[in-house]
């Protein structure tokens, strides 16, 4: 079996694809893969690490206002589509799976023109323009949130879940927190705003540190590389007073660390949500206001309605309501347990299996 996976730009589009690839490699070691990504995007560092063939296409997104750049976007799309056709003809895949991002638009559309079976995977509760466009042409659409079905043709849409969640669902607690000078036996709150960090989250956390330092739980706080030096300098000599707080620029083993935490505070991206729900960890989600269609707010709202998370909107985040919300969850075992149970109920832990069964269905015809 030959499978092409395409998607790029951010980890939310890439990690579901890599998780699916690893799952299929376990189930079918003879399966061959090709990953098609963008010339600029996280896939250029992530995909080479998993050891499969990798090629890139140049592309860019549309501006939401009238701009001459949109003419270049159209030209790059047409050019990428022709290049994708050649790549697909050479590789001869049995199926092509797109996980989002502008590069997947050209590749998936090319695959439909070549009449290759195709699957779009949508991670968010509100899809982006690329997947909504492709849904009219592809064979099947797999979604991670039930509410996303409203945006796609119902006869070809299936609830799959996010393969990233299945990848980490079996992980066990470890001594990973020792690496960050924390006590593995102590209740732990993990706070992060993405690999580069979030200014708004950092401002609230920085103001809350003196209060957090007096709590009976500990804090692991990833500030983001671009903010770390400034925060380190701001705290200065007071660092020694924060015995139960570890501040890091970046956490390289995030999933292993997350397994060992009791509460997660982060943005509401699809990958983070898949990890949180698969592990059954309560969370405080602070949706980014800088994403298309405000989809992170809708992601968080779906989990808040289920009782799995608390949501604090970015513009409403303060050090006071951050501390109050953390205390509400960490100091109430009954509430913590109910949120953990609700989080587990929202996770679809057989997502890779479901996606693979869909691949087998399409390729057996």
Which pLDDT tens digit goes with each residue over 168-205?
Answer: 877 888 999 999 999 999 999 999 987 667 889 999 99
3-state helix, strand, coil in the chain (%, to 5): 50, 15, 35
8 Å CB contact between 341 and 155 = no
Which pLDDT belongs to residue 60?
Answer: 55
Which pLDDT belongs to residue 153?
Answer: 96
**Greatest mean pLDDT range, 9-13, 33-37, 293-297:** 33-37
Does the structure show a pLDDT above 80 at 70?
no
Instruction: Note the pTM of the prediction, 2 decimals.
Output: 0.85
Cα 19 to chain centroid distance, Å, stands at 11
Residue range 32-51, pLDDT digits in tens: 999 999 988 889 989 999 99
8 Å CB contact between 318 and 343 = no
- Known binding positions for UDP-N-acetyl-alpha-D-glucosamine: 10-12, 124, 195, 251, 296
**Greatest mean pLDDT range, 65-74, 96-105, 234-243, 259-268:** 259-268
Spatial distance between the Cα atoms of 18 and 81, rounded to a whole number of angstroms:
23
Q: Taking the CB of residue 324, how many other CB atoms lie within 10 A of it?
A: 13
Provide the 8-state DSSP code for 62.
P
pLDDT band at 66 (very low <50, low <70, confident <90, very high): low
Spatial distance between the Cα atoms of 182 and 174, rounded to a whole number of angstroms:
12
- Known binding positions: 10-12, 124, 195, 251, 296
Residues 6+ apart with CB under 8 A from 85: 110, 113, 114
Residue range 109-128, pLDDT digits in tens: 999 999 999 999 999 999 98
Q: Taking the CB of residue 186, how many other CB atoms lie within 10 A of it?
A: 12
Residues 6+ apart with CB under 8 A from 59: 38, 39, 73, 76, 77, 80, 102, 103, 105, 106
**Greatest mean pLDDT range, 102-106, 113-117, 161-165, 275-279:** 113-117
8 Å CB contact between 72 and 79 = no
Map out the domains of the chain with their CATH numbers. 2-164+349-363 (3.40.50.2000), 176-346 (3.40.50.2000)
Which pLDDT belongs to residue 7?
Answer: 92
* pLDDT, the chain, mean: 91
The mean per-residue pLDDT over the stretch 221-244 comes to: 78
Does the structure show a pLDDT above 60 at 65?
no
pLDDT band at 208 (very low <50, low <70, confident <90, very high): very high
The more confident residue out of 210 and 234 is 210
pLDDT band at 72 (very low <50, low <70, confident <90, very high): low
Q: Please count the helices (runs of H) and the strands (runs of E) in the chain.
A: 14, 13
């Amino acid at each position: 079996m030959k499978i092409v996976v395409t998607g790029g730009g951010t980890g939310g589009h890439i990690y579901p694809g890599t998780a699916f690839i690893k799952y299929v490699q376990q189930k079918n070691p003879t399966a061959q893969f090709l990953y098609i990504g963008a010339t600029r995007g996280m896939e250029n560092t992530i995909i080479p690490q998993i050891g499969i063939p990798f090629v890139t296409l140049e592309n860019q997104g549309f501006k939401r206002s009238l701009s001459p750049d949109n003419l270049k976007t159209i030209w790059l799309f047409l050019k990428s589509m022709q290049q994708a056709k050649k790549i697909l003809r050479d590789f001869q895949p049995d199926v092509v799976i797109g996980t989002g991002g502008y590069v997947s638009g050209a590749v998936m559309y090319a695959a439909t023109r070549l009449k290759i079976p195709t699957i779009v995977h949508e991670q968010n509760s509100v899809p982006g323009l690329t997947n909504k466009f492709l849904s009219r042409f592809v064979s099947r659409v797999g979604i991670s949130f039930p509410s996303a079905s409203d945006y796609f043709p119902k006869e070809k849409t299936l609830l799959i879940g996010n393969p990233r969640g299945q990848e980490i669902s079996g992980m066990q607690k470890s001594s990973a927190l020792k690496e960050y000078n924390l006590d593995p036996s102590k209740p732990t709150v993990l706070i992060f705003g993405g690999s580069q960090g979030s200014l708004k989250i950092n401002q609230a956390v920085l103001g809350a540190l003196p209060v957090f330092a007096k709590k009976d739980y500990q804090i692991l706080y990833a500030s983001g590389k671009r903010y770390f030096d400034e925060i380190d300098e701001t705290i200065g000599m007071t660092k020694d007073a924060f015995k139960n707080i570890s501040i890091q620029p970046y956490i390289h083993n995030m999933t292993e660390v997350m397994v060992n935490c009791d509460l997660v505070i982060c943005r509401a991206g699809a990958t983070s949500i898949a990890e949180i729900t698969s592990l059954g960890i309560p969370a405080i989600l602070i949706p980014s206001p800088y994403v298309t269609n405000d989809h992170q707010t809708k992601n968080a709202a779906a989990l808040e309605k289920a009782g799995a998370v608390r949501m604090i909107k970015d513009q409403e985040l303060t050090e006071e309501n951050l501390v109050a919300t953390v205390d509400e969850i960490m100091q109430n075992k009954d509430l913590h347990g109910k949120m953990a149970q609700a989080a587990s109920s929202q996770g679809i832990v057989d997502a890779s299996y479901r996606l693979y069964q869909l691949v087998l269905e399409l390729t057996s015809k």
